[in-house]
Amino acid sequence: MAQYLLLVYEDEPMTSALPSEEEAALVGRFQDFMRRNEAAVERGQRLHPTSTATSVRRDVDGGVRISDGAFVESKEVVAGYFLIEAENLAEALGLAQEIPVPNGGVEVRPIRSVPGA
């Protein structure tokens, strides 16, 4: 089995503007996804908004710069993730297609195994 990270992207302003009953229904769909796929999903978590993020960057001189906010600004931001186990990429993509993201998408990335780690 291989591990994959499913990065969930969303349009943050659109999601935060959802009426409370739509937000509750969306949370229910995520919980349903996790229940249906509990054999594959090792962990999943929603992140706080990008306004709470702090970024650490290296500059060309080797120094470190710490700044408020997300690493990059874009319309869609990482909103959460799932760490899964799947036989192959096709299976991981199948799971990713089930994630109920109404205004964004899911990036599927294989986890690189490190010998001896």
- The CATH class of the 2-110 domain is alpha beta
Task: For residue 61, list its beta bridge partners.
Answer: none
- In angstroms, the CA 117 to CA 15 distance is 38
3-class state of residue 20 by DSSP: helix
Structure tokens at 13: 């302003």
Q: What confidence score (pLDDT) does residue 38 get?
A: 96
Q: Which residue has the tokens 């992207």?
A: 9
In this structure, of 37-46, 52-61, 94-103, the range with the lowest mean pLDDT score is 52-61
Answer whether 9's CB lies under 8 Å from 78's CB. Answer: yes
What percentage of the chain reaches a pLDDT higher than 90?
64
